[in-house]
Structure 1
Amino acid sequence: MPLSPEQEAEIAAQRSESHQTLRATAPGMEQHLYTAHPVLDHGFVRVIDYMGDDSAITQAARVSYGRGTKSVSNDEGLIRYLMRHWHSTPFEMCEIKLHVKLPVFVARQWIRHRTANVNEYSARYSILDREFYIPAPDSLAAQSTTNNQGRGDVLEGAEAQRVLDILRDDSMRAYDHYEEMISQDGQQGLARELARMNLPANIYTQWYWKVDLHNLLHFLRLRADAHAQYEIRVYAEAIAKLVADWVPATYKAFEDYRMGGATLSATGLECIRRMLKGETVTQENSGMSKGEWREFEGLLG
């Protein structure tokens, strides 16, 4: 289970409290506050705090003292304009703080998004739990033959079972040795900051991650993409659902222009103009490399 009974009781206590405020709140996000949304086998994502809503974005764009125009459609239109023209500052007016429990190897991918504030559980001071990410059988895949960063066909039968056994056995053996090294039963015990180096990358860690909406949407555009690694993509998908309830107008525009849209180079745009005029355009006369042409064809379907 992602949460212990003590953690569940703490969350229930947090959700039972309410506070009066004069600041804007988002009803959809209020429903998510403190609740842990399970991800993978032991992980979760939960909202600790947030600031702003859709109206904060339009207010910042207009630099007004009110809540924007009285017309929701006008505010939605402005948000779509800002998204369409790649404005960033108005979306930075909203922030969110998340509590995330995730495998270390996912955290190392995640931390490459350097536009957030992070405070991670310290294995120098505390002892890590015996919790490891073990993939579900349908997530065990061979190396892709066409993509050095991707996966190929799912492993099956005896090979899949052998890999799962190795992952479980190695994880447990490493943790057994970790406990032996830090134990002070009849010995001094190795410092925790040294003993942790023996733990595998699939052990779980936790952090608080605070980020503004502009940079969060950039994270989602990359990590909720179908080509992203599965283990980080499921976290991005869980966060995306929270964002959709927090700033629905912004998320709708984001889905349309970022997740569902495409960016063309000047060369690609010129190829489309030539095609519309009835010209036959091939990779050889397009001015694109083979890789660019392959991606261009993919965009055109």
Structure 2
Amino acid sequence: MSITPEQQSEIDAARAAPSRTLRATAPGMEQHLYKAVPVLDHGFVRVVDYMGDDAAIVQAARVSYGQGTKKARDDAGLIRYLMRHWHSTPFEMCELKLHVKLPVFVARQWIRHRTANVNEYSARYSILDREFYIPAPEQLAAQSTVNNQGRGAVLEGAEAAQVLEMLKSDANRSYDHYEAMLSQDGQQGLARELARMNLPANIYTQWYWKVDLHNLFHFLRLRADAHAQYEIRVYAEAICAMVADWVPAAYAAFEDYRLEAAQLSGRGLDAVRRMLRGEEVTQESSGMSKGEWREFAALMQL
């Protein structure tokens, strides 16, 4: 992990000067404030600020439902109800601001979630550091033969060594040329906004990312899933650990109804009902395509 001395100095100063506040705080999240959690070889995630807690979700919901609700359900039960029935606005009352350092190709996946506020380190104004994501050997995998978006068997031996060498040498050569184009030694030097286009997608960038809890849960449901690309999944998993401490009741409901749950199509639900009645159901009799049936069979462990 690469925290600059300036960033570390800011973190140390902030942690050394806590301030009293009248606003609600979450003890579980207070322990995460400003601390950088290492991810990948040079990346990290750290909490810069947050707003709200489990109580804020309940408070917002009861504004809608009225005073009588509190007598009918405890807070955790209400949060589970909200999650189970796909309510959104009560969860939007909580917000989280993160500082993230990540490879550019991961950032391009991440930015597809357009429901957050983002401010990224600008290579138009600043010079990027010579830091690249180089996968660990166990992450070097061949293309999957059944999933166009996934990985297959891990590369081994000479082929794995050759791939690692190419990744390292190509990244460093590109950065050498980037530095040369920027050089002021006896030449004008190319503008930073143009020189950056020569950099590879595995160079690291940084951003501040602020999102409400409803949209954060949507991000985590997709990116913390076992099928997500490893390089973004490890960031999602680090954030999951923070959110579990921040809003434990909401995260428990999210884990139960989203992360560890599964969705069935109408045909899939019909197939389950028929199986429970003792019928033998096949791909042909289910009305599902081969791909749908393969996923259904894996889910049901057929």
Query: TM-score by structure 1 length?
Result: 0.96
Residue 172 (str. 1) matches residue 179 (str. 2): no
Residue equivalent to 2:45: 45
Hey, what's the Cα distance between the residues in 1 that align with 2:208 and 2:137? 30
Opposite residue 96 of structure 2, the aligned amino acid is I
Structure 2 contact 119–208 (Cα < 8 Å) conserved: yes
**Separation in 1, partners of 2:54, 2:127:** 41
Deviations 1:5-44 (A, max 9, x none): 3322221111111111111110010000011000000000
How far is the alpha carbon of 1:69 from its aligned partner?
Answer: 8.2
**C-alpha distance in 2 between matches for 1:280 and 1:107:** 46
Structure 2: distance between partners of 1:147 and 1:106: 19
CA contact (8 A) 1:56 1:67 kept: no
Hey, what's the Cα distance between the residues in 1 that align with 2:67 and 2:19? 22
CA contact (8 A) 1:25 1:53 kept: yes
List aligned pairs for 1:77-116, cutoff 5 A: 77-116=77-116
Residue 67 of structure 1 and its aligned partner are, at CA, apart by 11
Structure 1 contact 2–42 (Cα < 8 Å) conserved: yes
2:189 corresponds in structure 1 to 189
* Matched AA of 1:166: M
**What's the secondary structure of 1:63's corresponding residue?**
helix
Q: Which amino acid aligns with 1:4?
A: T
Matched position secondary structure for 2:128: coil
Aligned counterpart, 1:283: 283
2:62–2:69 Cα contact (<8 Å) kept: no
Superposed structure 1 runs of 4+ greater than 3 Å apart: 66-71
Q: Which residue of 2 aligns with 1:75?
A: 75
Checking the alignment, whether the CA contact within 8 Å between 1:55 and 1:67 is kept in structure 2 is: no
The letter for the 2-side match of 1:33 is: L
Superposed displacement of residue 90, structure 1: 0.7
Distance 2:168 2:28 in 1: 39
Aligned residues of 2:58 and 2:79 also touching (Cα < 8 A): yes
Structure 2: gaps of 5 or more residues: none
Deviation at 1:4, TM superposition (A): 2.8
Measure, in 1, the Cα distance between the counterparts of 2:296 and 2:145.
22
2:189 maps to amino acid:
G
> Which one-letter code corresponds to 1:246 in the other structure?
W
Q: Matches of 2:227 and 2:154 in 1, distance apart?
A: 16
Report deviation, 1:251. Answer: 0.6
Q: 1:185 and 1:68 mapped to 2: Cα distance? A: 74
CA contact (8 A) 2:101 2:205 kept: yes
What is the CA–CA distance in structure 1 between the aligned matches of 2:117 and 2:277, rounded to whole Å?
51
Q: Which amino acid aligns with 1:55?
A: A
Equivalent in the alignment of 1:144: 144
> Counterpart of 1:174 in structure 2: which amino acid?
S
Over the matched positions of the two proteins, sequence identity in percent amounts to 80
Structure 1 residue 204 displacement after superposition: 0.3
Over the aligned positions, Cα root-mean-square deviation in angstroms equals 1.9
- For the residues of structure 1 that align with 2:299 and 2:155, how far apart are their CA atoms? 30
Gap change, CA 1:162 and 1:69, over 3 Å in 2: same
Write the distance in 2 (CA, Å) between the matches of 1:249 and 1:177. 51
Using the alignment, how far apart are the partners of 2:211 and 2:5 within structure 1? 29
Query: How far 1:276 moved relative to its partner?
Result: 1.5
- What residue in structure 1 maps to residue 248 of structure 2? 248
Q: Say which SS state the counterpart of residue 74 (structure 2) adopts.
A: helix
TM-score by length of 2: 0.96
Q: Is the 8 A contact 1:59 1:67 kept in 2?
A: no
Paired AA for residue 228 in structure 1: A
Q: How many residues align?
A: 301
Partner of 1:122: 122
Mapped to 2, the partners of 1:201 and 1:219 lie a distance apart of 22
The residue type paired with residue 241 of structure 2 is K
